[in-house]
Amino acid sequence: MADATGTLGNTGTPRKSSWRYIGPGIVVAATGVGAGDLVATLIAGANFGYTLLWAAVIGCLVKISLAEAAGRWHLSTGRTLFDGWAGLGRWTTWFFAFYVVVWGFVYGAAAMSSSALPLQALFPDVMDLKWWGVACAVAGLVFVWFNKYAVFEKVMTVLVGVMFVVTVYLAVRVTPNLGDAFAGLLPVLPDEKDSILNTLGLIGGVGGTITLAAYGYWVNAKGWTDTGWMKVMRLDNRVAYLTTGVFVVAMLFVGAELLHSANIAIASGDKGLVQLSDILEERYGTATAKFFLIGFFATSFTSLIGVWHGVSLMFADFVARLRAGTAAATGEKIAAGERERSWPFRAYLLWLTFPPIVLLFQGQPFRLVIIYGVLGAAFMPFLALTLVWLLNSSRTPAEWRNGWLSNGMLTVAGLLFLVLCVKQIWDQPWSEFF
């Protein structure tokens, strides 16, 4: 989104944007959109019909600006995002270290549970939900441990294809009212209590996680390490959030037509999708319900293995930067596959997989869940505002610094996520924490 347009890389080789290069964008779209995101959109459709369709579209545009900025930093500087953060002061190192440890511990259990739910619904007599969760976690560990980025990307692309077919099929099956849908593109707030906060939550919630920061790492892992790949990266990024937009709009259609029109309420969280499968079975038959559960599993499992790979890659870069300084934090190191073979990468993989199993069987500790919620809410404004800082400074080559459009979008994103962060912190039951 910078105003300048690149033509040549450090190698002097021009790269034309081409569909055959697409890859990291598919990975970030698949990882960023989890089952919880689909439920949030489904509930928005159930509560407000098509009224907030415009908010879902704006949310995708906000994520495009964030991911593009992360990718542009990696390509224009040749440095990784953590190297940029480290240059802003030691506070970023402490924030990331605390965040990645606590967030990874709780997220691991949540990802296991989310992946297990559709499997238990598909195969109810095989084993308990908790053991399905353990099986998913171990499967993710083995897959990421023994495969490099190229294989990882291909598998993610197949799973995204499954997600795409399922969500579009459901959207068509419920027969959306296209007139109301187009009217939903007009920015109107629902006449409900807390409608502004609900709208901001929808804009910021779908696809907005640490995986936006991981996008630059996946760009490097693909082999894109210089400005010659800038046009390719931008096309790839747009495809990512066009794909996300399809998922979001399709689920909003389902919520508006299947739930809103019949005044049916479903639970928030991943269990809402299991409820939806029951409603689909009653309305359209067993085959449609099972087809949906397959898509539900693809959505959850792509988020699991995406985090297992992408955040482990970021953690490996974090450790390398601490141990060896700036010389270690280059895009070439990521592209060469050094990080994926490193002990910090595999150590974080183990951290995501085994300690969280305790939470599956014993329940999530109350205080830890509150800290997790606060850290999760704080990460997105941290990402948006540090990208504004980095991409307007001398750390970025002048040609690739932010233009007015990028500055505007990143500032809006930062303020949006800051409001949502304050609300999340405010809503925590602090009186019970102490």
Enter the pTM of the model.
0.91
pLDDT of residue 41: 86
- pLDDT tens across 199-236, in order? 887 787 665 678 899 999 999 999 999 999 999 999 99
pLDDT of residue 237: 92
pLDDT of residue 8: 41
- pLDDT tens across 75-118, in order? 999 999 999 999 999 999 999 999 999 999 999 999 999 999 99
pLDDT of residue 12: 41
pLDDT of residue 205: 67
Name the least confident of 8-17, 56-65, 323-332. Answer: 8-17
- pLDDT tens across 338-375, in order? 899 999 999 999 999 999 999 988 877 777 878 877 88
pLDDT of residue 16: 64
Q: What is the mean pLDDT of residues 128-152?
A: 96
Percent of the chain with pLDDT over 90: 59
pLDDT of residue 39: 83
What tokens were used for 176? 């959306």
Q: pLDDT higher for 87 or 189?
A: 87
pLDDT band at 194 (very low <50, low <70, confident <90, very high): low
Asked if the model's pLDDT at residue 380 lies above 80, the reply is yes
pLDDT of residue 5: 35
pLDDT of residue 427: 82
- pLDDT tens across 39-60, in order? 888 888 888 899 989 988 888 8
pLDDT band at 18 (very low <50, low <70, confident <90, very high): low
Asked if the model's pLDDT at residue 430 lies above 90, the reply is no
pLDDT of residue 35: 80
Computed over every residue of the chain, the mean pLDDT equals: 88
Name the least confident of 8-12, 91-95, 273-277, 306-310. Answer: 8-12
pLDDT of residue 88: 94
Q: What is the mean pLDDT of residues 164-176?
A: 92
Q: What is the mean pLDDT of residues 397-417?
A: 93
